[in-house]
Structure 1
Amino acid sequence: MSSITLYSLDGCPFCEKVHDALDDADIAYETEWVEPLHSDRNEVKRVSGQRAVPVLVNENSGVMMAESDKIVQYVEQSLA
C-alpha cells in the first residue's frame, strides 16, 4: 500500500494533470475516486476540509494539498 493517495474524479482535467505528473516521476500512489456530485464527496471532505479535487495526501510527510498546479510543483520538487 502506498503512502500517497490522490483523491480524483474520473474525467477531471486537473486530476489528470496530477496523475500524469505522478506517473512521469514514477511515484507509487493510490487513487481514491470521488463521486461526481460535490455533496457526495464526504471522504475527501473529511481529509481535506473541502469537496474539490484533486487532493493529494502524503502520509509519510503529513502533507495534504489541493489545487493541481501546487500538487504538480510539489511532486516535481519534493517527490521526484
Structure 2
Amino acid sequence: MFKSGFILSTGAHIDAAMHNKTPVTVWMNNEIVDYGGVIEGHTEYAVQINGDWFPKKIVADDAEIRPCQFRVR
C-alpha cells in the first residue's frame, strides 16, 4: 500500500500499516534509531513495535514535539 520511505504521519496511516502488517523503521533527528518491524498497537502518544514503545508526540507547555518518525521499510 505504501512505498518504501513513506512517513506514517497520521493515525490513519499507522492504522493502515498495522492492518497490512507493513514493516516500518523508527527515525529520530533523521537517523534510524530502530529497525523496527510490524506495528503492534498505538495510542495518541506512542507506537508499539516488537514490544517496545516509541513516542510519536510529546505535549509540553502547549507545544507539541514529534520525537520519532515511522517510515515504511
Give me the TM-score of the superposition, normalised by structure 2.
0.30
Give me the TM-score of the superposition, normalised by structure 1.
0.28
Structure (1/2) with the larger helix percentage: 1
Structure (1/2) with the larger strand percentage: 2
